């Protein structure tokens, strides 16, 4: 892959990259590097692309988007989506506290994840989440017990593992039999029967999620057919399902990927559900990457150009701790100079300062740059800042959001002192 992804929030103008109407050069000078930059317009457009399939002409809803906040959980990003009418998909007590802090009604949140703790379940019941997406029988029993102790009823959905191959990276494929996720397809009916007999659980839905960065609609249709069959069988057993949560996973263009158009994707699935006679169901999408991935870039400055006999290295001030995806999944992100210069281009491996050979951000990139120049790592809005760490005692990057001509600091750069503020020496 060596093309640039199609971006709506970022563009090149007179040899300078811009986020909406602010130059990335100005942002780097004002906020320093490394720095994540998001475009409010790109976030909004991606959301509205889902919304135009989710809303009927008469204003009634066919489906609702629940943003998978693990992809980017900054409060300002949550707020942008909340203002647009999103619900949320969360996977931890920490994410629950974030949506509450962003002023979101917990009744708009589904709670997913294979390892929900007693504390997390208790808090989610107390604040009244829309639904627990349940991944195992022990989890179901635990939720029933806790709800009983609190004198509450837990709204539940079972996450079906449909055993469908999403044809994506093995680390982000989740709907196969040997993945840890969901309840095995053959056990789903019996598990619903068990749930029905539990006094403190109320069955409200069914859900599945087959993986991430999926570029083909067919695996979704296969998974849907398998889930719709279960809904029919459940109806015959006297169990009525109100909502169908199809999960997230739609892929994006990182530079040469052919990703389905969001509206087309959502319409295809919704039309399929209606054609099969299930138009009465409330449908939920849980997208993360397709809402935020191409709405963000990571700005970094070149520290050194280091030619060696084997390779040229371009050593930058961002690293695997800031953007883990290349090291972890061999993921491709396009990398562009923030200001285009007419210099002789050289091929570089773009690497960070972290002491690991796995600390690379791009390999074999043709760049016309000198040390001190700025680079933008594109398509970094999803699973960038949320997966960042403090490895090598590196403070996490600043994050800013651009809206037209204004720039807002939405996360301050961490201070080094804050990184060890919770540590203690042994008594002397
Ligand atoms: N729903 C559930 C239950 C999920 O587990 C996920 C993502 C999503 C929704 C959202 O999927 P998306 O639309 O973003 O593909 N760190 C990896 C991706 C991990 C995805 C985990 N689950 C990466 O950087 O590629």
Domains and CATH numbers, the chain: 10-39+293-419 (2.40.37.10), 112-287 (3.20.20.10)
State in Å: Cα 248 to ligand 1 middle: 7
Ligand 1 atom at shortest distance from the alpha carbon of 290: 13
Q: Tell me how crowded residue 211 is: count the other CB atoms within 10 A of its CB.
A: 26
Chain segment 197-208, per-residue pLDDT in tens: 999 999 999 999
Kindly state if the Cβ of 182 falls inside 6 Å of ligand 1: no
Ligand 1 atom at shortest distance from the alpha carbon of 113: 3
Query: What's the chain's average pLDDT?
Result: 96
- At residue 304, the pLDDT reads 98
Picking from 164-173, 279-288, 419-428, which range would have the lowest pLDDT averaged per residue?
Answer: 164-173
State in Å: Cα 383 to ligand 1 middle: 8
Kindly state if the Cβ of 112 falls inside 6 Å of ligand 1: yes
Ligand 1 atom at shortest distance from the alpha carbon of 286: 9
- At residue 166, the pLDDT reads 78
Phi, psi of 389 (to 5 degrees): -140, 180
Residue 201 is a catalytic residue: no
Residue 5 is given by DSSP the state P
pLDDT surpassing 60 at residue 305: yes
What is the distance between the alpha carbons of residues 244 and 260, in angstroms, rounded to a whole number? 21
Of all residues in the chain, what percent are helix, strand and coil, respectively (each to 5)? 35, 25, 40
State in Å: Cα 343 to ligand 1 middle: 40
Query: By percentage, how much of the chain surpasses pLDDT 70?
Result: 97
Of 35, 54, 314, 355, the active-site residue reads: 355
Measured CA to CA in angstroms, residue 126 lies from 149, 200, 207, 272, 331 at distances of 12, 14, 23, 36, 40
Instruction: Tell me the Ramachandran region of residue 56: left when phi exceeds 0, alpha when psi lies from -120 to 50, beta otherwise.
Output: beta
- At residue 2, the pLDDT reads 60
- Cis peptide bond upstream of 69, omega within 30: no
Picking from 149-153, 168-172, 398-402, 407-411, which range would have the lowest pLDDT averaged per residue?
Answer: 168-172
Reported pTM: 0.97
Cβ atoms of 410 and 400 closer than 8 Å: yes
pLDDT surpassing 90 at residue 122: yes
Chain segment 27-52, per-residue pLDDT in tens: 999 999 999 999 999 999 999 999 99
State in Å: Cα 113 to ligand 1 middle: 11
Find the mean pLDDT for residues 253-274.
97
Chain segment 331-381, per-residue pLDDT in tens: 999 999 999 999 899 999 999 999 999 999 999 999 999 999 999 999 999
Ligand 1 atom at shortest distance from the alpha carbon of 293: 14
State in Å: Cα 326 to ligand 1 middle: 16
H or E stretch covering 376: strand 374-377
Kindly state if the Cβ of 209 falls inside 6 Å of ligand 1: yes
What Rg do the C-alpha atoms of the chain give, in angstroms?
23
Give the contacts of 234 (CB within 8 A, at least 6 positions apart).
Answer: 189, 192, 206, 240, 241
Kindly state if the Cβ of 334 falls inside 6 Å of ligand 1: no
């Amino acid at each position: 892959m060596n093309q640039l992804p199609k971006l709506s929030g970022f563009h090149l103008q007179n040899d300078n990259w811009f986020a909406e109407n602010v130059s990335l050069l100005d942002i780097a000078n004002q906020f320093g590097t490394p720095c994540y930059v998001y475009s409010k317009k790109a976030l909004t457009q991606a959301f509205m692309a889902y919304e135009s399939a989710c809303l009927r002409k008469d204003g009634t809803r066919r489906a609702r988007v629940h943003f998978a906040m693990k992809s980017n959980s900054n409060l300002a990003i949550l707020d942008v989506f909340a203002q647009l009418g999103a619900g949320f998909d969360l996977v931890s007590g920490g994410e629950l506290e974030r949506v509450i802090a962003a002023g979101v009604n917990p009744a708009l949140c589904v709670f997913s994840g294979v390892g929900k703790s007693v504390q997390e379940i208790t808090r989610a019941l107390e604040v009244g989440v829309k639904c627990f997406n349940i991944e195992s029988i022990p989890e179901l029993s635990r939720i029933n017990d806790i709800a009983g102790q609190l004198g509450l009823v837990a709204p539940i959905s079972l996450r079906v593992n449909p055993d469908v191959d999403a044809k994506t990276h093995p680390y982000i494929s989740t709907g196969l039999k040997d993945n840890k996720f969901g309840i095995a397809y053959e056990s789903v009916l019996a598990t619903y029967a068990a749930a029905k007999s539990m006094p403190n659980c109320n069955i409200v839905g069914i859900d599945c999620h087959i993986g991430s960065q999926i570029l083909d609609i067919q695996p979704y249709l296969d998974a849907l057919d398998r889930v719709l069959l279960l809904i029919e069988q459940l109806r015959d057993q006297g169990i009525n399902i109100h909502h169908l949560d199809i999960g997230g996973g739609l892929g994006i263009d990182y530079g040469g990927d052919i990703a389905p158009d969001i509206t087309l994707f959502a319409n295809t699935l919704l039309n399929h559900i209606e054609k099969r006679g299930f138009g009465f169901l409330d449908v939920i999408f849980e997208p993360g990457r397709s809402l935020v991935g191409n709405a963000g870039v990571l700005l970094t400055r070149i520290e050194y150009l280091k030619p060696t006999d084997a390779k040229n290295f371009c050593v930058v001030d961002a690293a695997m701790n800031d953007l883990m995806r290349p090291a972890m999944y061999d993921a491709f992100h396009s990398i562009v100079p923030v200001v285009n210069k007419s210099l002789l281009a050289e091929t570089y491996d773009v690497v960070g300062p972290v002491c690991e050979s796995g600390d690379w951000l791009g390999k074999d990139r043709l760049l016309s740059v000198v040390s001190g120049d700025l680079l933008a790592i594109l398509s970094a809005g999803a699973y960038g800042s949320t997966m960042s760490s403090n490895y090598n005692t590196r403070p996490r990057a600043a994050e800013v959001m651009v809206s037209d001509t204004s720039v807002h600091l939405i996360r301050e750069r961490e201070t080094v002192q804050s990184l060890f503020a919770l540590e203690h020496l042994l008594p002397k």
